[in-house]
Structure 1
Amino acid sequence: MDPQCSGQDIVRCSLCKTDVTPLHCTVCFIHLCEDCEDKHTSDSSKVHNVVSFKQLLSIPSIPKCSMHSTERYKFHCKQCNVLICALCVSSNEHKQHNIVGILEHYKKNQNAIRRDLQELDKFIYPEYSEVISAIPTQRADVEEHTPKMKEVLINQEEALHLEIDFIIQKKLADIDEINSQLLTAIYREEEALINTMEEISMFILDMSLMDESDVCLVSKYRSKNEQFRQNLFKHNISLQNLCHQDIKREKLSELAGSMPSSSKETVEQNNPQQSQKSNSGYTDILLLESPVLLTELNTGYKFLYEVSSWKYKEIWTSGEPNFMKLYNLQGKLLKSIQTITGNTPDDITVTRRGEHVYTDYGDRSINVVCVTHLLLFRIPETKSKTDVLIRTLIRLKGWTPRFLCSSSLDNLLVMMISDDGKQTKIVRYCDSTEKESIQFDDKGKPLYSSGYTTMYLSENRNTDICVADFAAREVVVVSSAGKLRFRYTGPPLTTNGIFRPVGITTDSQCRILTTDRENDLIHIVDKDGHFLRYIDNCGLDYPRGLSVDSEDNLLVAEYYTGSQ
């Protein structure tokens, strides 16, 4: 008799057989009286879950195992995505698989169903309705716009014909001019040769009539043959050819005007959900369905703040105590460097030239560190051991540098706060020269929170500047010119707690990744601020710093464990 379905039978304790049985173990599927509860739960070989019969009625009926008819399903295998019993667990088929309790899995999926239903009903379905309602307008716009595009193309055709006609007429005139110059030169040469021939004829006649017996006359003779030989040469006329290039249809097409290669491209550009699949100008790289842990490094920090990677597969870290450490991907410590002042860096970054840069809150400085095996050039000011070179690049007055990142132009973007803590701004530096300041929106309101809060930043591949504003509970994204693009405050529907972003980075597809420290997960957002997904199923523990390496692998710094 099924203990969960036997409503009219006398319910007895499975151990002492007494009629008073107010309890039930959902793990062992047996009834218990209060006297036998302690005896049953004292078996430490398994975890028991004893509930009242009232609670039992709310627990779903669990069927028997299809492989072992005497056993009920108790677990769920994540790898195989099947329900299994205790005997299935002990078999080799599910060895080393990720096994969870059936009720835990049931409740998790039950919550997911309710959450998905709510999202479908309140957000996704209305959005579809809104998009569909706009289609007639879009269709009318297309039908109205197409004749205009054709008119522009026809006008361009006429303009191209006029330009080609002008060019051809100019070239024809040039050919006529060259022809005239050549003929004039030939005529002049012909006239000179004829005159010389007449002179030779007269000279021949004189020589024929000369009296060779006249000593005086013969003595005065001077030969002109050398002169005549020098003047006798054939003038080769260089006939010029027209050097033309092959007509390339693609080049002519560009002159006629450019447009999307297909209607599909035009439509997909307006679909935020496609941002994960296609970013114009970039090679498509899809997100993994589930994250794969490639390696784990124990850095030994009490508190791990930040991680920054470079193309040579080496990783910089910073935290407490106040050392910056350089590791390779095998976890080998290559270098451990203390700051000049002994203060803990607020933030670190690596430039395109391989320079390691850090901010020192204590003395308001931005400093450059170079390790000799990474140097592309040497820095003259040495303030450490011979194989480590450190120099102060910038020291501020009235402001304190906090967080920073390297840009695509190899500039530095520095987040700083005023001495009174009331103002916050981003300054772009080229070497030590200030090039740009970003502080207010178009309405003159501050873009970022004030006060001594965490605000890591990263430049996206499209040159947007992304800031994780912890105090404001949002990610603020501005263009390279400092114009506000959007503020991301989390997905529209979530069962998680308050969104507090800390670390932030971007990948080759312009996706934005930020750590949600309070909820132990990572948000992935497209370049326009649309939520794509979480990374929430890899056991993250208080994630803080983020970095993406040259192969789009994600590096995560765990604040308390010191792991990455």
Structure 2
Amino acid sequence: MAALIKQEKEVLKVKSDLKQAILDLRKILKSDDTTIISTYHSQNAEFRRYSICLTKTPVMDPRYCAQDILLCDLCQKVALQSHCELCQINLSLSITTEEHGYTIRTSESASCPPVKPLLDVPELITTIDTGYMSNVTNLNDKEIWTCGKDKIIKLYNLQGEYISENRNLDICVADSDAHAVVVVNQAGKLRFRYTGLPSNKKESFCPRGITTDSQSQILTADTYNHCIHILDQDGQFLSYIDNCFLQRPWGLCVDSKDNLFVAERDSGKVKKIKYM
């Protein structure tokens, strides 16, 4: 175990050096100073040294095989049997990929969920009477939290806010003042704005709650038109949910089974809707 810890420290040192080298290179690329550019010397030899260090055969604990030992991305500690005791999370295995002519190690992304088609007619599963409230979120498949004007957070056994992170790491914002859903990527670059569809709706598009599901679809509450808009991850309109007797839908959240929870602002009800 001491040898593993020593090797872990060496790898962390190399990662730190690599990050700094990348930052320095980016600074040079953005610089207009010809002196810095003209005096730059290739660091390929140094990078090769890093590569040798990172690809050394790891010191193995005889109790475990190579597939059992991973580095936790959160705490940067060695985790045995693909589980980090410190962070209490299971780690995905590593895969080798080819990118721009180089062989790199990357963490395997979360397994893709099965494709679920949208239902032609969304189905209301449950209505929970909570009193006046405007926000709802779920901890798991059995509990939801609600909050209203009384500033009291309530937990409900089942036996959002206006911002949501999608599975592709996009940040989705329901901007009611701008009458738009605004989506930016993880670098903060605008991907698209959705301002509703030209329709016979009585009121202008006013998104409030927003959430995403396992298919990376975006759902937002059109409060004053009493419906939910469903978009794909690129901002294309897919469908409305407007048949579940919604009254001023506000807060939204989706559980692990893609059940949608809708908090109605005025009625104080939370409605559970199956739409896929």
TM-score by length of 1: 0.28
Structure 1 stretches of 4+ with a deviation exceeding 4 A read none
Q: Structure 2 counterpart of 1:504, which letter?
A: I
Q: Pick one of 114, 117, 140 that aligns with 1:311.
A: 140
Q: How does 1:203-352 map to 2 (within 5 A)?
A: 281-300=112-131, 303-330=132-159
Give the distance between the partners of 1:311 and 1:515, measured in 2 at CA: 21
Contact map agreement 2:141 2:255 (CA 8 A) in 1: no
Q: Distance in 2 between matches of 1:322 and 1:282?
A: 36
Q: Residues of 1 paired with 2:151 and 2:187: CA distance?
A: 35
Deviation at 1:281, TM superposition (A): 3.9
Aligned positions of 1:393-412 closer than 5 A: none
Trace 1:110-509 onto structure 2 (pairs within 5 A). Answer: 281-300=112-131, 303-330=132-159, 456-491=162-197, 493-496=198-201, 497-509=203-215
- Paired residue for 2:261, among 513, 532, 555? 555
* Deviations, residues 510-562 of structure 1 (Å, cap 9, x unaligned): 00000101110000000000000100111101110000011110000000100
| 1:526 maps to 2:232 | yes
Q: Secondary structure at the match of 2:181?
A: strand
Tell me the distance in 1 between the aligned counterparts of 2:265 and 2:134: 6
> Of 228, 241, 244, which residue of structure 2 is paired with 1:538?
244
Q: Tell me the distance in 1 between the aligned counterparts of 2:229 and 2:220.
A: 5
Unmatched runs of 5 consecutive residues or more in structure 1:
1-250, 259-279, 331-348, 350-402, 404-455
State the distance in 2 between where 1:312 and 1:516 align.
25
Letter in 2 for 1:460: N
Aligned letter for 2:150?
P
CA distance, structure 2, for counterparts of residue 539 and residue 312 of structure 1: 23
**Counterpart AA for 2:133:** L
User: Which runs of 5 or more structure 2 residues have no equivalent in the other structure?
Assistant: 1-94, 102-110, 271-276
8 Å Cα contact 2:210/2:251 also seen in 1: yes
Amino acid at match of 2:151: N
Once the two structures are TM-superposed, the CA of residue 323 in structure 1 deviates from its matched residue by 1.1
8 A contact 1:489–1:499 mirrored in 2: yes
In 2, Cα distance between equivalents of 1:524 and 1:504:
10
CA deviation vs aligned residue, 1:430-485 (integer Å, no higher than 9, x gap): xxxxxxxxxxxxxxxxxxxxxxxxxx111111110000000100000000111110
Give the letter for the 2:200 counterpart.
T
Cα deviations across residues 19-58 of structure 1 (Å, max 9, x unaligned)?
A: xxxxxxxxxxxxxxxxxxxxxxxxxxxxxxxxxxxxxxxx
- Counterpart of 2:140, as a letter, is K
Shift of 1:321: 2.0
Shift of residue 282 of structure 1? Answer: 3.8
Hey, what does 2:72 align to over in structure 1?
Answer: none
RMSD: 2.4
Matched residues in 2 for 1:539 and 1:318: separation?
21
Give CA-to-partner distance per residue, 1:361-398, whole Å, 9 cap, x none.
xxxxxxxxxxxxxxxxxxxxxxxxxxxxxxxxxxxxxx
The structure, 1 or 2, with the larger RCO (C-alpha pairs under 8 Å, 6+ apart) is 2
Which residue among 496, 507, 515 is the counterpart of 2:221?
A: 515
1: distance between equivalents of 2:142 and 2:246?
23
C-alpha separation in 1, matches of 2:177 and 2:150? 25
DSSP 3-state at the match of 1:509: coil
Matched AA of 2:114: T
How many equivalent residue pairs? 166
Question: Which of 1 and 2 has greater Rg?
Answer: 1
Alpha-carbon distance in structure 1 between the residues aligned to 2:119 and 2:261: 15
Could you tell me how far 1:290 is from its partner in structure 2? Answer: 1.0
Q: Percent identity?
A: 54
Instruction: Work out the CA distance in 1 between the residues paired with 2:246 and 2:141.
Output: 26
Counterpart AA for 1:313: K
TM-score by length of 2: 0.56
Alignment of 1:16-31 (within 5 A): none
Q: Which has the higher strand share?
A: 2
Deviation at 1:298, TM superposition (A): 0.5
Distance 2:217 2:155 in 1: 27
